[in-house]
């Protein structure tokens, strides 16, 4: 669907022998090490969502200011202006939580992992809603394959899947609630 520059392949390791000095990190701590890497990946994915959303908001603003319908720009319509306001609210909320998660991870804050999961979840969903709103605001010009918002629409979808799906973030956030 998107991310065409991400070359995704199956890798099969069959009867592979490596010298002891080829071990990455500390022996026996692979899981912990990869989980630490996942925290950075999740913040990066949340930040990618902010990028998709910010550009879609800019492109939407430009289009609705220029596009004349029934003798006036689309921004004359309250429903259009309100949609832009809601897109910005979602983007700003996702941005604040993403920045907070990065600051907490840097500072080894006790709630860092929780905030990272919240940021990854919120930013991915907000980005998907905002790119969808942008396609709607641009109408047919947003749907055609060569439009910039159509590419954001396709590429943003993976953010709810990669680096741990929405469902996995919710699992992280509710771990410990089951008896
Ligand atoms: C273009 C692309 C690039 C990628 N790049 C990378 C990469 O660089 N590094 C990397 O590590 N991975 C990468 N991935 C893989 C990606 O991380 C996985 O696709 C993702 O983690 C989801 O795993 P899955 O596809 O096996 O889904 P599945 O595990 O098959 O999940 C299917 C559905 O079931 C749900 N589900 C599964 N388990 C649970 C559960 N316990 N509770 C509730 N719901 C559950 C999921 O949320 C999802 O909705 C990439 C994938 C793509 C498509």
Judge whether 164 lies within some domain: yes
- The predicted model gives 5-11 an average pLDDT of 92
Judge whether 88 lies within some domain: yes
Testing ligand 1's pocket by substitution, the residue of 162, 163, 173 carrying the most ligand atoms inside 8 A of its CB is 162
Give the CA dihedral 157, 56, 143, 85, nearest 10 degrees: 100
The band of 66, judged by pLDDT with boundaries at 50, 70 and 90, is very high
- Residues with Cβ within 8 Å of residue 176, at least 6 apart in sequence: none
Residue % of the chain over a pLDDT of 70? 99
Indicate whether 178 pLDDT > 80. no
More confident site: 15 or 35: 15
The CATH number of residue 101's host domain is 1.20.140.10
Judge whether 13 lies within some domain: no
Judge whether 84 lies within some domain: yes
Judge whether 129 lies within some domain: yes
- The predicted model gives 161-172 an average pLDDT of 97
- Residues with Cβ within 8 Å of residue 122, at least 6 apart in sequence: 46, 93, 94, 97
Q: What is the predicted pLDDT for the residue at 179?
A: 66
Ligand 1 centre distance from Cα of residue 160 (Å): 9
pTM surpassing 0.85?
yes
The response to whether residue 5 sits with its C-beta less than 6 Å from ligand 1 reads no
Give the CA dihedral 30, 9, 117, 88, nearest 10 degrees: 150
Lowest mean pLDDT among 21-30, 65-74, 136-145: 21-30
| Residue 109: domain span | 39-174
Based on C-alpha coordinates, what's the Rg of the chain?
Answer: 20
Q: For the chain, how many structural domains are there in total? A: 1
The response to whether residue 6 sits with its C-beta less than 6 Å from ligand 1 reads yes
Q: Tens digit of pLDDT for each residue in 109-153?
A: 999 999 999 999 999 999 999 999 999 999 999 999 999 999 999
Judge whether 179 lies within some domain: no
């Amino acid at each position: 669907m998107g991310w065409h520059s991400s070359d995704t392949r199956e890798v099969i390791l069959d009867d592979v022998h490596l010298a002891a000095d080829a071990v990455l990190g500390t022996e026996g701590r692979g899981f912990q090490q990869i989980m630490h890497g996942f925290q950075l990946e999740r913040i990066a994915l949340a930040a990618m969502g902010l990028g998709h959303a910010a550009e879609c908001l800019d492109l939407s603003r430009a289009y609705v200011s220029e596009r004349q319908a029934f003798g006036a720009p689309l921004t004359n319509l309250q429903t259009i202006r309100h949609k832009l306001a809601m897109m910005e609210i979602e983007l700003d909320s996702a941005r604040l939580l993403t920045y907070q998660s990065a600051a907490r991870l840097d500072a080894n804050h006790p709630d860092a992992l929780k905030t990272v999961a919240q940021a990854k979840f919120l930013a991915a969903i907000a980005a998907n809603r905002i790119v969808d709103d942008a396609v709607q605001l641009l109408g047919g010009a947003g749907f055609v394959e060569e439009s910039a918002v159509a590419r954001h629409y396709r590429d943003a979808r993976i953010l709810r899947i990669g680096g741990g799906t929405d469902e996995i973030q919710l699992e992280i956030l509710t771990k410990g609630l089951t008896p």
